[in-house]
Amino acid sequence: MIIPTIWMSAIVYACEISILSIGFTLTYLTAKIPNFAHGTYAGVGVYVVYTITKILNLNPYIGFPISFVVGGAVSVLIFLLVIGVLTRMGGGTIVLTISTLAIQIFVTAALYIYAYWLRAKYHTYALGFMIKDSDFRVGGFQGIFPVSILICVVTVVLLHYMLTRTKTGVAMRATAEDPELSSVMGIDTNRIQLFSWFLTGGLACLAGAMLPFWFMSSPATGGIIITSIMAGSLLGGFESIYGAIVGGFGVGLSEILLTTWAQNIKIGGERLLWIGEYRPLVPMFFMVAILLLEPRGLKGVWDRLLASKTGSRLIERIRGGES
């Protein structure tokens, strides 16, 4: 089986953005703020894997569980020190959003300092790197290609199981819907909040740990991919985790494939467009299109489809065909 490299690259990227979008949406659901520092957690994961691989000379895949724990710890720390305190004091959406912008800049600067420290101590170039050469190969593929798909699928399945079958997941959904009512019903909302911040931070850091296997990474990576994450979350409807899975995957896939295809359009041997450097505009284009056409994203489209006559008939027919 031969898969073009560009498809592999797009799928790896899409898996990462998908996981990050899930975390962004979860944070939005539980804390009601767009967390601009979410991409920066991925930057933390990048450096956890770098340290494991280049400094400690271990297998990079050992970094995955470690980065999950480290990312969760960072996220919980941020919640305990900043977001939780500000929320308890009654800070509005604006104050919390500004604080997440501050956290983004803070964590990025800390990562830069860490990279410079690595450079001073170990004389490695930690400011822009890939760890493709430390990866294993399976039948012509690079290891991260199956691994990223596996992690994405496992994450989605586990999340679905957790949110629908376990007590913690149901409590999380209840807290997202109505914190006051759920605390009346005996749910410790503070602990649920802590758990959800740990989960989102860990997932983001895990996705970030997969980044340097295929893409050039630097301390600023996390700040750059936040637009893709937000576009994925918006495409999925901003309030639906299942939407975020599809939306993040779509945005990540199209970001790489669209720029490549548009670049390869040739007329008489001449390139028509040279748009590789405009790649970050693709998610922004998505965002504007979504906001103008259907502000509730794929979730809104789905709801509208269910509500309309032809849509419900179509779905009935599909269901009927299955059974």
Residue 79 binds another protein, judged by CB under 8 A = no
In this complex, which beta carbon is closest to another protein, that of residue 146 or of residue 294?
A: 294
Contacts of 278 (CB under 8 A, 6+ apart): 259
Residue 55 binds another protein, judged by CB under 8 A = no
Q: What are phi and psi of 169, to 5 degrees?
A: -65, -45
In whole angstroms, what is the distance from residue 249 CA to residue 233 CA? Answer: 10
Smallest gap, in angstroms, from Cβ of residue 284 to another protein? 5
How many chain residues are in contact with another protein, going by CB under 8 A? 56
In whole angstroms, what is the distance from residue 95 CA to residue 178 CA? Answer: 21
Q: How far apart are the first and last CA of the chain?
A: 32
Residue 185 binds another protein, judged by CB under 8 A = no
Site for another protein in 271-310 (CB under 8 A): 277-278, 280-281, 283-284, 287-288, 291-292, 295-296, 299-300, 303
In this complex, which beta carbon is closest to another protein, that of residue 132 or of residue 279?
A: 279
Site for another protein in 102-141 (CB under 8 A): 102-103, 105-106, 108-110, 112-113, 116-117, 119-120
Q: Label residue 215 left, alpha or beta by phi (over 0 means left) and psi (-120 to 50 means alpha).
A: beta
Contacts of 63 (CB under 8 A, 6+ apart): 45, 48, 49, 51, 52, 53, 209
Q: Where are the alpha helices (DSSP H) in 166-270?
A: 167-177, 179-184, 189-210, 221-235, 241-263
H or E stretch covering 74 = helix 63-78
Q: Which of 99, 134, 155, 200 binds another protein (CB under 8 A)?
A: 99
Q: What are phi and psi of 34, to 5 degrees?
A: -75, 115
Residue 215 binds another protein, judged by CB under 8 A = no
Smallest gap, in angstroms, from Cβ of residue 318 to another protein? 21
Q: Which residues of the chain form contacts with another protein (CB under 8 A)?
A: 28, 32-34, 36, 81-82, 85-86, 89-95, 97-99, 101-103, 105-106, 108-110, 112-113, 116-117, 119-120, 178-179, 227, 230-231, 234, 238-239, 277-278, 280-281, 283-284, 287-288, 291-292, 295-296, 299-300, 303
